[in-house]
């Protein structure tokens, strides 16, 4: 009987794991200011507003659909990796080579979809810029997470009848913070780099929003302190890098810190009327691994449903470029 019970319990747990929805999500067709035009041979060709950029993309292992001449003709600026390419902490360093006239900075807009009768849609604006690290201030595949954050924040606000508290860790230039704020949340935006927090503040102002709390600090230190103080949040968003440094030189290595970070998140996430979004870029991580980390760190029951999968872009020729994995919890 005991052996049968153990077998049944194990099968039940496996059943719930298999029932977890894993999917591939893409930015909405409503987003007119962004499109992936082509990809291949370790590169991607993207349009941000009125400008077309060519950037390295190691995951684009296939051939380009357009010729090199077509890429050259369309491109406004192309990123060329520098001498540090391939070295830890320097992978993305390099320079932008302009092929056509364009500014160093420009703006694009994103429209969040309305949530039934709960709330109408909302627009926010994002400043883009040509940084020395290949990035431009936005990760387009994250649009699916912005929609999730906006929708769930709106629903929780309606359920509580008051503003939910949302914490955005490793928050970068703040698109996720804007999504939560547009849905009516009291938002705490945290990043260890002061320059990108300033950038996020500009995005808030240009979007006609206000009231976001800005914090420049190490994410682990902040989460531990909030746990000691007994503070809880209705929404927690995490998009940690594979490695990095805090404002005081604190070292972050994803493999070594993720589980402890999620244990801290479990202590400050409200047990009801709450959501959590974890996004991971590391090539060595899968949605299944992310789910296991979340389940164990938050001590979730085996039948707790998680939403997980990949965030990807699809170019104009139908080639799918996977860029990150996500794990989401709603309770």
Structural domain of 164: 2-83+90-330
Span 79-98, pLDDT tens digits:
999 865 555 555 558 999 99
The answer to whether residue 114 scores a pLDDT higher than 70 is yes
Which residues are 189's β-sheet partners?
A: 168, 214
Least confident of 147-156, 181-190, 215-224, 253-262: 253-262
- With cut-offs at 50, 70 and 90, classify the pLDDT of residue 15: very low
pLDDT tens digit sequence for 234-259: 999 999 988 777 777 777 788 899 99
Q: Which of 26-30, 198-202, 301-305 has the highest mean pLDDT?
A: 198-202
The percentage of the chain sitting over the pLDDT mark of 90, rounded to a whole number, equals: 78
Residue 165 tokens read as 């508290």
What domain count does the chain have? 1
CA distance 200 to 285: 28
- Which of 7-16, 26-35, 221-230 comes out lowest in average pLDDT? 7-16
Q: Return the pLDDT at 244.
A: 74
Q: Which residue from 26, 28, 23 is spatially nearest to 308, judged by alpha carbons?
A: 23
Mean per-residue pLDDT of the chain: 90
Q: What distances in angstroms separate CA 282 from CA 23, 59, 285, 323, one per listed residue?
A: 18, 12, 6, 9
pLDDT at 113: 86
Q: The CATH number of the domain where 225 resides is what?
A: 3.40.50.150
Q: Mark 118-157 as b/e (b = at least 16 C-beta within 10 Å).
A: bbeebebbbbbebbeebbbbbbbbbbbbbbbbbbbbbbbb
pLDDT digits (tens, 9 = 90+) for 42-65: 999 999 999 999 999 999 999 999
């Amino acid at each position: 009987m005991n052996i049968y019970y153990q077998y049944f319990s194990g099968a039940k747990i496996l059943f719930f794991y298999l029932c977890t929805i894993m999917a591939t999500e893409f930015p909405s067709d409503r987003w007119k200011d962004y499109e992936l035009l082509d990809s291949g041979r370790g590169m991607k060709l993207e349009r941000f507003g009125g400008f077309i950029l060519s950037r390295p993309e190691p995951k684009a292992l296939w051939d380009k659909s357009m010729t090199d001449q077509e890429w050259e003709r369309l491109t406004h600026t192309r990123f060329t990796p520098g001498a540090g390419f391939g070295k830890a902490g320097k992978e993305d360093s390099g320079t932008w080579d302009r092929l056509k006239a364009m500014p160093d900075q420009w703006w694009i807009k994103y429209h969040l979809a309305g949530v039934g009768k709960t709330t109408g849609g909302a627009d926010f604006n994002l400043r883009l810029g040509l940084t020395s690290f290949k990035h431009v201030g936005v990760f387009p595949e994250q649009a699916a997470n912005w929609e999730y954050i906006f929708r769930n924040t709106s629903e929780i606000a309606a359920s509580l009848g008051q503003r939910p508290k949302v914490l955005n860790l490793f928050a970068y230039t703040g698109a996720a913070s804007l999504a939560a704020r547009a849905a009516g949340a009291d938002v705490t935006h945290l990043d260890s780099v002061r320059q990108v927090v300033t950038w996020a503040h500009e995005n808030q102002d240009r979007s006609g929003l206000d009231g976001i709390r800005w914090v420049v600090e190490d994410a682990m230190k902040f989460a531990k302190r909030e746990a000691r103080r007994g503070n809880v949040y209705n929404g927690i968003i995490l998009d940690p890098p594979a490695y990095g440094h805090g404002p005081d030189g604190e070292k972050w290595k994803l493999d070594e810190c993720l589980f402890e970070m999620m244990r801290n998140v479990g202590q400050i996430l409200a047990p009801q009327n709450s959501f959590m979004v974890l996004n991971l870029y590391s090539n060595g991580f899968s949605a299944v691994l992310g789910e296991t980390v979340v389940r164990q760190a938050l001590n979730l029951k085996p039948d707790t449903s998680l939403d997980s999968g990949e965030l990807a872009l699809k170019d104009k020729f139908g080639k799918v470029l996977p860029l990150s994995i996500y794990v989401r919890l709603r309770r």
